[in-house]
Amino acid sequence: MAANVFSSWMARWVFAELAILRIFQQAGWEGRWIDSYRGKYRIGYWGKNVTKELPAQQKTILDLIRDKAGCKGGCFDVFCWHDGSVIFVESKWKRHDRIRQTQKRWLETALNIGFSLDSFLIVEWALAP
């Protein structure tokens, strides 16, 4: 996760993960930035009301994958849902970030329990000059 890198979104500076979340929200999806390091489900970063618990169904999905994967880390950065569909999005800073072993294990576990490859997206981003 590129936690120290910002991108501009709607005239505000945000983390790349929040920019991704905002794009899905504008398309009608609900979601959270999964801050595994701090154990939070983020909808923002600065100020008040920047975290929001997951609905029970979505928490069950994440808990199931985590339990079966046998590791706390590895969850993709952004988790969104809409009309019965889910998508997990991993944010990677171009030439600075790479897929980790825990993420491979987490993805493999999710696929093994029935999630479609269409439910996963990797977004590679870079800072504009």
Q: Mind listing the pLDDT tens digit for each residue in 46-99?
A: 888 899 999 999 999 999 999 999 887 889 999 999 999 999 999 999 999 999
Domain assignment present for residue 106? The answer is yes
Whether the Cβ atoms of residue 119 and residue 109 lie closer than 8 Å to each other: no
Whether the predicted pLDDT of 11 surpasses 60: no
Which amino acid, 40? K
The Cα 115–Cα 127 span in angstroms is: 32
Domain assignment present for residue 2? The answer is no
Task: Say what the pLDDT of residue 14 is.
Answer: 75
Q: pLDDT over 70 for what percent of the chain?
A: 89
Confidence category of residue 10, pLDDT binned at 50, 70, 90: low
Task: Look up the domain containing 78 and give its range.
Answer: 7-34+41-125
Confidence category of residue 44, pLDDT binned at 50, 70, 90: confident
> What pTM value is reported for the model?
0.86
Domain assignment present for residue 29? The answer is yes
Run of H or E residues at 112? helix 101-112
Query: What value does the mean pLDDT of the chain take?
Result: 88
Q: What is the CATH number of the domain that holds 76?
A: 3.40.1350
Order of strands across the sheet with 30-35? 40-42, 30-35, 78-82, 85-93, 120-125
Number of domains in the chain: 1
Domain assignment present for residue 1? The answer is no
